[in-house]
Amino acid sequence: MTRLISYTYDHLSCSAGYGTPDTHSHLALHFIFSLDTAFPGNAGGNDFEGKAVFIDSDVPHTLHLESCDAIVVLFEPVSALGRYVKETFLRDKDFYLPEKELLCRITELLACYPASCTGNGLCGLTPEQAFAFDRELLELLGWHGPGRADALLDERVLSVKARLSEMDTIPADIMKELCDTARLSQSRLSHLFSSQAGIPLHRYLAFMKIQKAFLHVRRGKNLTQAALDAGFDSPSHLASTFKRMFGISFSQFLKNAE
């Protein structure tokens, strides 16, 4: 069962019965915190065990959380928040197991919410409580808003990001518009974006399409219309892309989401 806590332009946080997904990799950076005991996992071919873990973008991984819920935060990798997480915790490592002090502080934060909520995967949070929990969790990670991370990006990359965030649909011919926005050729823009953001532009576009589809569903559209309006060829194209990135299909995520 997946219970959405918060979704914004730069991250998605939820309480999830994570299970054991197929080994997969995707653009989002992960933070997973078990609401129960430590769990085993594998990232980048290396086994680990811990109560929480950060996992970098594009690192093949799987976790074994069959018996407990977890707080899962997915960070958009090119956002200031995503870059902060990468620079602060990962630092070119495939994964990072947080120190005991941070784990204790998150446990203390959970204790501030009703036991009926935290004992059942945070499903009883009101929207106001969910928003507060999300903000406080980010603050425990040391995040207090955009800082130097976005300042390090080239203005042309920032202009592309801004244009994509404004759009409801990412059409098949989006590259022409993005090249006009950045005033660069396609090859030069692709090279600049990859070197600045650390991920290929075409992978980022797929990630953004998924964001758009999710927003359309949240606005009340059915899966077919949401997929088409986001820029996918079909709902199956959306589902397969989501499966490649997150280890489950988009429809399965929506079916379990509250």
Output the pLDDT for position 32.
93
Query: According to the model, what pLDDT value does residue 109 have?
Result: 92
Examine the pLDDT at 150 and tell me if it is beyond 70: no
pTM for the model: 0.76
Tell me what pLDDT residue 31 has.
Answer: 95
Tens of pLDDT, residue by residue over 182-234, are 999 999 999 999 888 777 898 889 888 988 998 898 889 998 999 999 999 99
3-state secondary structure of 45: coil
Phi, psi of 158 (to 5 degrees): -60, -35
pLDDT of 128: 82
- pLDDT tens by residue, 87-145: 999 998 999 999 999 999 999 998 887 755 555 556 667 778 888 889 999 999 999 86
pLDDT, tens only, 9-40 = 788 888 766 566 678 888 889 999 998 889 99
Strand order in the sheet with 46-50: 46-50, 39-43, 61-63
Q: Three-class SS of residue 217?
A: helix
Q: Which run of H or E residues covers position 179?
A: helix 174-182
d(CA 245, CA 12): 14
For 242, the token pair is: 């989501």
Residues whose CB falls within 8 Å of the CB of residue 32, separated by 6 or more in sequence, listed in order: 18, 52, 53, 55, 63, 65, 70, 71, 72, 73
How far CA 81 is from CA of 48, 75, 123, in Å, comes to 25, 7, 25
Contact 207, 76 (CB under 8 A): yes
